């Protein structure tokens, strides 16, 4: 909802660059109106815009930041008039006062820049320290991995040696089996030859005995039958 806010800010708020600070915030929030110094030492802000945006302005200007110290803020809400098309900083007619105030604003900006730069440098330094720690940790992990790879390589060499030894054993056993096979083949040949020879001898002897028996039977038959 659109509102008009008439604001009075009390404290150490004049000759401290406070109006420039308010002008910058109102510009960023797209509020219309003006800010000026009052004779009683307060700063007056009149602005129109969305009620939530005006509340954000009040929060942002309620600060204690050297050389500014806000002690109290009074606000009166009214219906907007639409008479403002931008936000304006109304300066003092006294040129000397206005010049010193602008110098205070410049000094405040310089302090903010130095503070922000220091924080960023601290942040960068912290990040560099963290990165260094991570690099050290990574280096340790790489060393550990290298040790594990060396250990694995040693185990692979040992396994390779055992495999070669086993291969030699298998080759030796294969040679033994080949020799045994040759001996078995030789024994089979010899046994076969022996069996064949024995069989031939037995058949020859049997034939000879049968022939002798047949001759003796013929003699007997001659003597028995007249």
Give the catalytic positions in this structure.
19, 37
Whole-angstrom distance, CA of residue 76 vs CA of residue 47: 11
CB-based contact 35:26 (threshold 8 Å): yes
User: In degrees rounded to 5, what are phi and psi of residue 14?
Assistant: -105, 155
Residue with tokens 């009052």: 38
Q: In degrees, to the nearest 5, what angle opens at C-alpha 71 toward C-alphas 59 and 3?
A: 40
CB-based contact 1:19 (threshold 8 Å): no
CB-based contact 33:45 (threshold 8 Å): yes
Long-range pairs for 57-66: beta carbons < 8 A, 24 or more residues apart: 57/5, 57/22, 57/25, 57/26, 57/29, 57/31, 58/5, 58/7, 60/25, 61/9, 61/18, 61/21, 61/22, 61/25, 63/21, 66/108, 66/111
191 CB contacts (<8 Å, ≥6 apart)?
Answer: none
């Amino acid at each position: 909802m659109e509102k008009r806010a008439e604001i009075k800010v009390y404290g150490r708020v004049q000759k401290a660059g406070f109006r420039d600070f308010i002008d910058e915030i109102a510009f960023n929030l797209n509020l219309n109106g003006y800010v000026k110094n009052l004779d009683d030492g307060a700063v007056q802000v009149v602005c129109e815009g969305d009620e939530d945006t005006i509340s954000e302005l009040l929060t942002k200007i309620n600060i204690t930041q050297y050389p500014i110290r806000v002690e109290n803020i009074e606000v009166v809400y009214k219906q907007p008039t639409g008479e403002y098309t931008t936000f304006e900083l109304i300066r003092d007619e006294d040129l000397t006062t206005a010049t010193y105030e602008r110098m205070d604003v410049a000094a405040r900006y310089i302090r903010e820049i130095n503070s922000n730069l220091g924080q960023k440098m601290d942040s960068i330094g912290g990040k560099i320290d963290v990165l260094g720690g991570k690099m050290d940790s990574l280096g340790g992990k790489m060393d550990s991995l290298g040790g594990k790879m060396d250990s694995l390589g040693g185990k692979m060499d040992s396994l390779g040696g055992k495999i070669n030894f086993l291969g030699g054993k298998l080759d030796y056993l294969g040679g033994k089996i080949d020799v045994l096979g040759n001996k078995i083949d030789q024994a089979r040949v010899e046994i076969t030859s022996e069996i064949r020879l024995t069989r031939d001898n037995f058949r020859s002897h049997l034939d000879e005995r049968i022939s002798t028996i047949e001759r003796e039977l013929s003699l007997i038959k001659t003597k028995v039958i007249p």
